[in-house]
Structure formats: C-alpha cells, structure tokens
Homo-oligomer: A and B are copies of this chain.
C-alpha cells in the first residue's frame, strides 16, 4: 500500500553501462541506437530499444554535453519594459525548446549597459550556450551580432529590421500594421492624428512610424511634425507624450501610440482631464497587450504573433545548431488590426 501511485521500478541509477550489460552489447552500440546512427542491425536496434523501455533509461544530458561539447541550452536575451511581451517571448521559446529537449536560459540585460559585450561574453563562457535568441532591441545591435559571429555562436533574430543578411530572422510586418491602423483612423474621418514614437533603439519604432507616414501620404494628409512625440515604449514615456499632445491647440482628434502601454497612458490622462474617449478623442495602440482589453474603453490595436515568431526562431536555431545549413531562414508574419471601443468616427463638433 505504500508508494501507492508512484511508479516504482528499482530506483537504482540506469546508465548506458547498465543498459549495455543488460542488452548484451557494447556501450558504443547503445550510443548508436540512442543517436539514431546508421550501421546497427535492425535486430540489435530492436533489442536495445526494448531495454530502454524496460529499464526506463534516460540519457544523462550532462554527460552527453561534456562529450559533445554542448550544453543543450539556448539563451534568450531581452531588455524590454513590457512584461507581457517578455512572457510571450518566453512562452514561444519554451515551446520550441521543450520539443527538442533543450533548456531555455533567460537573461535580461541592458542594451545600453556599461558593457553589453562583456556581459554576454561572461554569460557564454560560464553557461556554454549552444545558441542565442535575440529579441528587440538586441536583434538589431550590430555590435552584438558582430561579436557573436566572431565567437561563432549561432543566433536567431526576432522582430529585426536588418534584412538580407545571412542569419536566421523572423519578424512581423510592423510597417504594414501601422499603415492599416492609420488608414483605419483616416477612414473614420480623422486628419489630425498624433503619433507617439517608440524607443529609438528598436527597429520597430522606425517601421511603425513609417507606416503612419505612408498612410497619411496615400490619403493626401499633410505630415506635421508637431503631432509627433518621442516615447520609448514605457508607460511613463507615454504619460509624458500624452501631456504634450493633449496640450496642443487645436487638440488632435486621434492619437496613435507605438505600443499599448503608451496608449494606456494617453487614455489615463484623457480620462483625468475629462476628455471623452472615443467621442472626443480616438486612441490606438500596438501589440495587443493584455492591458488593451483590461481598460475601458478597450484599445484598438495591432496584434502581432510574438509567440509564434519566437517559436519559429528557436526551432530554426536548433535546426541550425544540429545541422548547419547554408541558406539563412527568414520569414515575415502578418500583423492584424483589432478594433475595440477606443476609436470612433470623428465628431463634427
């Protein structure tokens, strides 16, 4: 009655040696079966596999790592004020890692830290990573990328703007998304559309801004610099920008912030000042962060497939590690407009 439910077996350690002995073959043959190597007779392979089952054998990843000089660990670098973005990145990366029996090591650090390269160098020598996923803003750091190349560490870039280079890169179409969102506002009758930029180190910042401008141009609306505020993706920067924008005379009828946190800051200030959203002011964000639907009115925004981008990036990275290919893998995913209550046709008051 004791040990109930806990699959017993003998709790003795099962190593490659015990499997070999039990199956009556050499360690090396067991190793071959383990790694799906050729040149093992079907009969032998069968026999060994059966012993795996019977003894519930799991190879020791540490020993494998030592022999092959690998760690089976992928590192994930990030420096991002948005917690939700980080968790989405992690969740995509984890999915890919688990699928291929890798572990994920998360490493927050600062792009503008006193010495990023030293920091990463340290990370690499102490943790022996097999590869690194770069999330924004690291995906566009030429300095870091040059370092990784020189050290010959495989890497994949998520949501990067650098095109046509020879590395793995997955991104979504930010410019297109920003274009559609701006057009959505224009179609609602808005012409005075303020814009809050993101952090200058992120390539998304330039892309989203460019989408905004192109939509204006297409619809023959003059671009006015006074309607543009500099943010950095943080809620705080959004609050500062909101102040500048809502103080404008005449006040814009719509605000497009480069992410949802900054948009939420605009909404907060507008509400404090008793400016009615969306009746007197339309507000839109970008990312479809949780906060976009946790506030009232819900934010119109652009959803990007962050998990999927990261998952694909890590999968390709792992593929590349075990079998370096020539052709760099690059892919662009679609961003999608989500309309909620925060945007509305311009009133004729």
Binding site for B on A (CB under 8 A): 6, 58, 60-63, 65-66, 71, 73, 83-84, 86-87, 90-91, 94, 101, 103-106, 108, 117, 125-128, 147, 150, 235, 261, 264-265, 267-269, 271-272, 290-291, 294-296
Contacts and interface: CB of A to CB of B under 8 A. Distances in A.
* SS class, residues of chain A in contact with chain B: helix
A294 B291 contact: yes
A62 B268 contact: no
Nearest to A105: B103
Contacts of A264: 294-295
B104 A105 contact: yes
Contacts of A269: 296
> Which of A91, A108, A295 counts the most chain B CB atoms within 10 A?
A295
Contact of A268 (B103, B147, B296): B296
Nearest to A73: B103
A97 to B, nearest CB: 10
A91 B108 contact: yes
A267 to B, nearest CB: 8
Contact of A127 (B103, B268, B271): B103
Across chains A and B, which 3 residue pairs bring their CB atoms closest together, nearest first?
A268-B296, A271-B296, A83-B87
Given A60-B128, A294-B235, A294-B264, A94 B108 contact: yes
Contacts of A94: 106, 108
Given A91-B108, A128-B60, A290 B83 contact: yes
Nearest to A267: B296
Given A268-B295, A294-B268, A61 B103 contact: no
A289 to B, nearest CB: 9
Contacts of A272: 296
Given A58-B125, A61-B128, 11 more contacts: A60-B66, A62-B62, A62-B65, A90-B106, A101-B126, A103-B127, A104-B105, A264-B294, A267-B296, A291-B291, A294-B295
B128 A62 contact: yes
16 contacts: A6-B147, A60-B128, A61-B126, A61-B127, A62-B71, A62-B128, A63-B66, A66-B66, A73-B103, A90-B106, A103-B103, A104-B106, A235-B290, A268-B294, A268-B296, A291-B291
Contacts of A108: 91, 94
A265 B60 CA distance: 47
A104 B105 CA distance: 6
Contacts of A61: 126-128
A267 B105 CA distance: 38
A280 to B, nearest CB: 16
Contacts of A65: 62
Contacts of A87: 83, 86-87
Contacts of A261: 294
Nearest to A268: B296
A235 B108 CA distance: 27
Nearest to A261: B294
Contacts of A60: 66, 128
A267 B271 CA distance: 13
Contact of A6 (B83, B84, B150, B267): B150
A37 B344 CA distance: 71
